[in-house]
Structure 1
C-alpha cells in the first residue's frame, strides 16, 4: 500500500530524522512496520522530501536513480542514523561505537554520489540540480553532529519518533502537536473521566 507523505511524516524537522522515522512503532515488534519495505516507496519519499525539505537541500531535486540497489544502502544509513541519535538523545553523548558505523555509511553515500555542501551553514549548496537521496541524507545526518543540533534532538513522548526541537526554550515533547500531542491529551482526558466515574461508583 502506498504511503501518503503528509507533513506529519516529516515531523523530524530535518531530512535524516525524517528518514529514521520511516520505521513506525520501532519499539513494538508486533506492530512495527517499515515504510521503505518497497523500494518504489523510497522514490516517492524522495519526491515528497524535495518539497518538504526544500530549504535544507538548497532547492535541489532529490532522486533515487536505482531504487532496488539504493534500498539496502538507504536502510543501512537509516538504521545507523537512528541508533546514534536515539542513543545520544537518551544518554546526552555521542558514543564512538555508534558514530563509526554512521560515518562509514555516510562516506559510502557521498563517495557514490558526490555533492557540494553550502558554505557557512549546514546543508547542501543550491544549484546542483538533482541529488541522490542517500547523499542528501548523509549530509543531513552529518549536520546533526554539530553540538547545537545534537542537544536539540528529542524522542517523541507519544510515537517514539526522533525530531529536532527548534522551539525557543527547547521544551517540545511531541514530534507533532496536532497529531501526537492531541492523542496524548485525549488519552489523559479519557483516563481522568474513567477515574472520575470509578470514584462516583465507589461513593
Structure 2
C-alpha cells in the first residue's frame, strides 16, 4: 500500500458503519492499494469524520493512546485485520456464498470479546448500548456490533460491490437497482467510459 490520503475527503457511501470502515481503502481494484489508515490516530480521525463517536470519547481515546502507544499499535493492527475480515465476509454475503469457516471462527472471536464488554445504560429515558469502560479496543468493538447488526437484521438490504472501485455498500434503493457506490463518482466514470467507447466504434 502507498500514499496517504486525507480522511476528511473520504466519502461515506457504505450506508452503515462497518461498510464505511471497509471502504477506507481508496480503490480495491487498483494496485497498489491506497489506504486512508496508517496509525491508531487515523482510526480516531475516521470516527470523528463519520460522527459515530462523541468528541468526548474520541478525546479520551486519544489520551489513552498517548499514554499506551504500544497497546494502541496492537489495537490498530487488530482493527485493520478486522477490516479485511469483514471485507471477505460481506463479499461472501454480496455473492450469496457461504463464508469460509476460518473467517467465521475469527469473527466469532471478535464478537466474544466485544460483547463481553457491552452493557445497557439508561440515557434520556431509554436504553442505550455502550461499552462498560473507556478502552482503546472499542474502536473495533463498535465495528463488530455494526457488522453483527447487518448480518442478523430482520429486514436485510442487499450488500453490493461497486464494479468500478470494489467498495461495498447497502443498496437502499426501492427496487434494488443501485449499481455504483456513488453515481457522481464511479457511475459518472462508467458513463464517460461507455460514451467514449461508443464514439470510438463509430469513428473506426
Contact between 1:143 and 1:149, CA under 8 Å: does it hold in 2? no
Q: Distance in 1 between matches of 2:57 and 2:163?
A: 30
Unpaired stretches in structure 2, ≥5 consecutive residues: 66-71
Unpaired stretches in structure 1, ≥5 consecutive residues: 119-123, 199-203
Q: Distance in 2 between matches of 1:34 and 1:107?
A: 28
Q: Is 1:108 matched up with 2:113?
A: yes
Q: Distance in 1 between matches of 2:187 and 2:26?
A: 17
Aligned residue among 184, 189, 193 for 1:187: 193
TM alignment of 1:50-199, pairs within 5 A: 50=51, 53=52, 63=58, 64=61, 65-66=64-65, 67-90=72-95, 92-95=96-99, 97=101, 98-111=103-116, 113-116=117-120, 125=128, 132-146=138-152, 152-198=158-204
RMSD of aligned alpha carbons: 3.1
Change (3 A) 1:95 1:117: farther
Q: Distance in 1 between matches of 2:104 and 2:156?
A: 13
Q: So what's the TM-score if we normalise by structure 2?
A: 0.75
Q: Distance in 2 between matches of 1:117 and 1:142?
A: 20
SS in structure 2 of the partner of residue 145 of structure 1: helix
Contact between 1:49 and 1:62, CA under 8 Å: does it hold in 2? no
Change (3 A) 1:38 1:23: same
Report the count of equivalent residues: 183
Choose 101-110 or 59-68, whichever is displaced more: 59-68
Q: Distance in 2 between matches of 1:156 and 1:80?
A: 18
Contact between 1:162 and 1:175, CA under 8 Å: does it hold in 2? yes
CA deviation after TM superposition for structure 1 residue 147, in Å: 5.5
SS in structure 2 of the partner of residue 163 of structure 1: strand
Change (3 A) 1:126 1:145: closer
